[in-house]
A and B are shown apart, each in its own frame.
Chain A
Amino acid sequence: MKLYEYQTKELFQQVGIPTPKGKVIGSATELESVKIDFPLPWVIKSQVRKGGRGKAGLIQFASTEEEARNVVQRLFNHPEKISKLLLEERLDIKKEMYLSIIIDPETASPLIMACTEGGMEIEEIAKLFPEKIIRERVDISRGLGNFQARNVMYSLGLQGKQIANGAQVLMQLYRLFRSCDADLAEINPWVITGPETVVAADAKMNIDDNALFRQKRFVKSRDQFDDDLEFEAFQAGLHYIRFDGDIGVMSAGAGLTMTILDLIHHFGGRPANFLEFGGAAYGRAAKAMDIALKNPKVKVILITTFGLIARADVIAQGIAQAITELKPKIPIVAAVRGTGEEEAFKILEGLGLEPMRYTEEAVKKAVAIAAGRAS
């Protein structure tokens, strides 16, 4: 789950990481009523989840109140559907740097990355200044050492009091990273504004979805999703991603589902979605079909499972329930195999469906139906 900038900065303020003075507003009228205790000029930043806000015109400057009112008005009417703006004091930037903590899958450790060049995406930094990226691996059982934080600050070339202050920021960032179950905590740009001060001009944090059960303060709401159906699926414990093809995919297990998408493309078809109801969700085939059918572009439903714990007989019962309740008007192709498959085949036959025994045959059939070559 991606936090908004203002949420991340609230967390920063709680642990003493310096941020610009700021105020969040939720409407243009709120600008009139709130008390803003920092002087113009302001930076007005749209709170959206995606990067590249500057280029997209979602970050604006205002040097008079009149200008601020116009900018606020314009941004709240932006097609991007912005629900919050962050107003901030405009910093006197001497230098922009980059600082982040990620989980490095290769070493299975938290990894600190820092760079004397900031203000652009890390991918860009890595391309332009690969030799300037400072990496510091953290042993998760030992935690981040003060000496490691100091090493990073010296490598960044910080001076005087900036070193202790910067190291303190990194220590607190690591504590937040751990205590919030983040998989990314990023300050970019991290800006030097004076001989002692380093300020988090922008802030980004992603929380591990798997840890949300113990991170109750973070709740995934509709605005975390690109699409209504994706949100509906999430609420039902399913994973759905919409594409623009016409074959409605229902599968169990992420690896198999990805393979089905690959096979559909291979045989010349186009998937309408990724929809996975494996693992603990295998009893929810009926709900999965409900969601798959809600995309009006879908011409055929392709169900391919090869379950282990996701028992084929339970999945077949779910399909039976879905067909009874939803009465789908489009063809269904089903290869439901794995644990309990003989029972599943009987259930499918009872529904008048041909139980397919080979995944690739099922995919080919669905592709042919979508192309109008079969029914």
Chain B
Amino acid sequence: MPNTIHIPTPLRPFTDKNESVEVNGGTVGELLADLTQKYTGLRKHLYTDDGRLRNFVNVYLNDEDIRYLQKESTPVKPGDALSIVPSVAGGAPTAPADRVGAGLQTGPHAAGAVELSPEEIKRYSRHLIMPEVGMDGQKKLKAGSVLCIGAGGLGSPAAMYLAAAGVGRIGIVDFDVVDYSNLQRQLLHGTSDVGRSKLASAKDRLLELNPNITVDTYETTVTSENALDLFRDYDVILDGTDNFPTRYLVNDACVLTGKPNAYGSIFRFEGQASVFATKEGPCYRCLYPEPPPPGLVPSCAEGGVLGILPGIIGVIQGTEAIKLILGIGEPLIGRFLIYDALKMRFRELKLRKDPDCPVCGTHPTVTKLIDYEQFCGIRPEPAAHTTGAGASVNSANSWETTSVELKKRLDAGDDVFILDVREPNEYQICRIPGSVLIPLGELPRRYAELPADKDIVAHCKMGGRSAKATEFLQSVGFKRVKNLRGGILDWIDKVDPSQPKY
């Protein structure tokens, strides 16, 4: 006795317009086989080329989805009715290569479906033999794109593994040149690259790893003006920045463009990673609504970083980017991973999306990008700076001085007290002759050692910590204290190039 199959609207042209068709067989699979034998045009719409039922074809036995029964081997009884019910799905392109329609004009083979060359099939063989990746997944990677913010410690391992894995388009934003102090951890760059632009050496390195990919470079800083346009064209943003204004900017731009943020940060021996700004999950601001006061959290340039640490954290970020593109596994959404290299321990904190979050909450107050330097309380550069090293003493503002001015005063025999607020290990590397070391952390209990009747110039490595020291000393009554802008690095550049920089 035959069973009936209900045919959905789009397939009726294949069944002579019949809404239902009578078929014979003992199982669901046999009924479908009988159907496609009678109406051969149905086959390619119901089955993939390798004979599996397409994932957007739902088959119901009476009112039950056969996925929850015994799939195609589900037995059927007389009187059972089968229905083919479409899942209708689609979506915006995930990458330029994914725009099928755009390719239509160029000929019959421009379907836009990415293909793998024989060389790529060999190259990705260890991916292709895993069912979780396979040909479909590898094509997703090829059609996928990741924008790395920064080609430094975190961006290096992430971009290198993404390139090797076959992520089709990697964008890198950076504006720096390679310095000797980068080589301890930034493996995109080699010794012969010192002095070159980081983008140039990164591009060479990535294309050497995998010439099948595209590397797009952007020689700029990420700003409120360019972030949305930059992010829009990528599937995943990989935040490898080392400062708070850019971190908040990247977060907000990810929320506003709907791009997931594979986040990582490193300091000394500890690293952190998470995936922020997905629709369902929290963003960086849900975790930290406000930035820390400027100078409180030292950067890697000031506090140092174990060179191998970004290798772990950057690779975790890259792993998350690959999982997001493939759509497999459990992404690090709503979880904050903390890694301690000294203890060799991972901890995980649960994060919740904050409904009151100013950018991703239910009533956001941040709906466009703002001034992040100001948000993070970082003083804008005084205009006097742009007048260059020749600026006269009068043009310097009341709380800052420059290396050149300091040198002039010392040469003129002025009695200036030079206060170094760095750490002792930094003092061992280089110092301004005649300076006195009181690390910033010790200043509150040692400021009595300073002369109240002399001009004091405070300095650190780059000017951040000494700005805090200057502010503190003024608050406890020192009137004649100034900060050395740019720190000892500026002193070495402009006054004493014989000393090593770090």
Q: Do A and B come from one complex?
A: no
